[in-house]
Amino acid sequence: MNKAFRRRVVITGLGAVTPLATGVEESWQKLCQGKSGVARITKFDPSGFKSQIAAEIKDFHPEDFLDKKKIRRTDPFIQYALAAARMAMDDAGLTIDGNNASRVGIVLGSCAGGMTAYEKNLFTLRDEGPEKVSPFFIPAFIANMAAGEISMAFGARGPSKCVVTACATGSNSIGDAFRLIQYDEADAMIAGGSDAYILPVGVAGFDKMRALSRRNSEPAKASRPFDKDRDGFILGEGAGVVILEEMESAIRRGAKIYAELAGYGSNIDGIHITEPDWENQARCLKLALNDAAISPANVDYINAHGTATMLNDVSETKAIKAALGEHSKKVPVSSNKSMLGHLLGAAGVVEAIFTVLTMRDSIIPPTINYETPDPECDLDYVPNIARKAQVNIALSNSFGFGGVNATLVFRKSEEL
C-alpha cells in the first residue's frame, strides 16, 4: 500500500510486570532513579553455577489478576502476560464487545514459552511416569497460549500472532501489530511479549555460551552496558503490553494518547547465530526512519538494545553511527537493561514503554554502572544519572540471536 494511504497508529495503553515493580509507573520511577532489579537468584539454589545473579520478578501476586484455577493451570509467562494485558487495557479504557471484537487483535510473543511448566513436567515424567504429567502441560507450555489466554480474557476476535524472534520478539510484536492497523486489518491491537526463563536450564545454557555476567559479588553493578569492564548480560523475566489503535478512532473515543508509532524496520543479518552485524543493524535503523519519513537529524533519543556483552555493544554503537552519521554524536543513548536485565521476549516491549514515557515526561533514564569508557563505544550513554531533555522523536532498538533486528520509531503525541 502507498504510504500516503497508510492509517496512522497511536499508543493508548501501557502495562508491565518488571523486575523493578508490578506496574508501569512504579517501574518507570525506579528506572529514572537508577534502581537495579538485579540480585542473587532465589528461584533455585545457584551455588553450582558460575553466574548466580538475575533480575527476578519480586512483588508479583498472580491472585491480583487471575483466579486460583487459572493460576494452577498456567505458566508464569502466561500469568505475567495476562497481568500486563489487564493493566494496559485498563489504562487504555478500551472496551471490546460485539461491535468491535473482530477488529481487535493480538500479537504477543515469547522467546521460550512455558519453560517452568516444561521443566516441571519433564521431571515428573522422569520420576513418576507418564500418568503423572499434567493434562494442562501443553497449554501451559506452547508460546502462543499467552495470546490465546488474553483473547479469552478480553474477547478479542481479530488477527492473532505469536512472534518468536529471540531478543527482538517484543519489538517485532509491536511492529507486526502496527502493520495490521496500518493496512486496515484491525482497528486496535494488544501487542506484547512475555518470558519467565530464570530456571536452572536457562541460566546454565546462557552461561555456557559465556553470555551472562559473572559479577556475583556485586549484583546491582553487574549489568554494565557500553562500559569497558562489561562481562555479559543479566537474565531477567517479565512482560510488557501496549495497546495500539488507529489514530482517528482513538481520538473519536477520547482516548489518552501517549505517542504515535511512526515507523518500523526489521531485517536479519544472516551471518552468525550470535555475532551481530553492525551494517545490517544500521540498515534496520534506516529502514525504520524511512518508514516513518523522518530524517536522522531529527532523532532526539535512542533506547538501545544495550545488552552489556562485548560484541553487541560495539556493534550497536557502530550501527547508530552509520545510520545517523554526524548527528549520532549529539543523540543521547541509554540502556534500560542496566537496571532491568534482559527480559528476552518482553525486552522490546518494556523498553518501548519506557521510550514512550521518556517522551511524555522529558526524562531520559540513565545507563547505570557506566564507570570506564570503552574507546569502541564512544556515544553519549547518559551515564548513571537521568537527564531532563525534550524528546519528540525516539528510536527503540532490539537485536536478537539468529541475527534478527528490529527498530521502532516513536513521535511525541503533541506532534500529531
From the list 107, 206, 109, the residue with the least C-alpha distance to 165 is 109
From the list 413, 370, 349, 39, the residue with the least C-alpha distance to 175 is 349
On whether the CB atoms of residues 24 and 90 are closer than 8 A, the answer is no
Is residue 61 flagged as an active site residue? no
Cβ-proximal residues to 332 (8 Å cutoff; 6+ apart), any chain? 300, 301, 302, 364, 380, 381, 382, 387, 389
Cβ-proximal residues to 129 (8 Å cutoff; 6+ apart), any chain? none
As a dihedral over the C-alpha atoms of residue 168, residue 174, residue 179, residue 184, rounded to 10 degrees, the angle is 160
On whether the CB atoms of residues 9 and 182 are closer than 8 A, the answer is yes
The partner residues of 242 in beta bridges, in order of sequence, read 14, 191
Report the alpha-carbon distance of residue 248 to residue 371 in Å, rounded: 46
The partner residues of 107 in beta bridges, in order of sequence, read 161, 191
From the list 282, 304, 326, the residue with the least C-alpha distance to 383 is 304
On whether the CB atoms of residues 393 and 67 are closer than 8 A, the answer is no
Q: Which amino acid is at 72?
A: R
Is residue 167 flagged as an active site residue? yes
Catalytic residue among 32, 111, 342, 377: 342
Catalytic residue among 32, 111, 305, 377: 305
As a dihedral over the C-alpha atoms of residue 59, residue 408, residue 403, residue 195, rounded to 10 degrees, the angle is 20
Residue identified by cell 569497558 is: 228
- What is the three-class DSSP state of 145? helix
Is residue 162 flagged as an active site residue? no
The partner residues of 39 in beta bridges, in order of sequence, read 54
CA–CA distance from 174 to each of 57, 190, 244 (Å)? Answer: 23, 9, 8
From the list 176, 170, 143, the residue with the least C-alpha distance to 347 is 170
Catalytic residue among 32, 167, 284, 377: 167
Angle of helix 169-182 relative to helix 347-361, nearest 10 degrees? 70
**Other C-beta atoms lying within 10 Å of the C-beta of residue 272:** 12
Cβ-proximal residues to 415 (8 Å cutoff; 6+ apart), any chain? 260, 392
Enumerate the active-site residues: 167, 305, 342
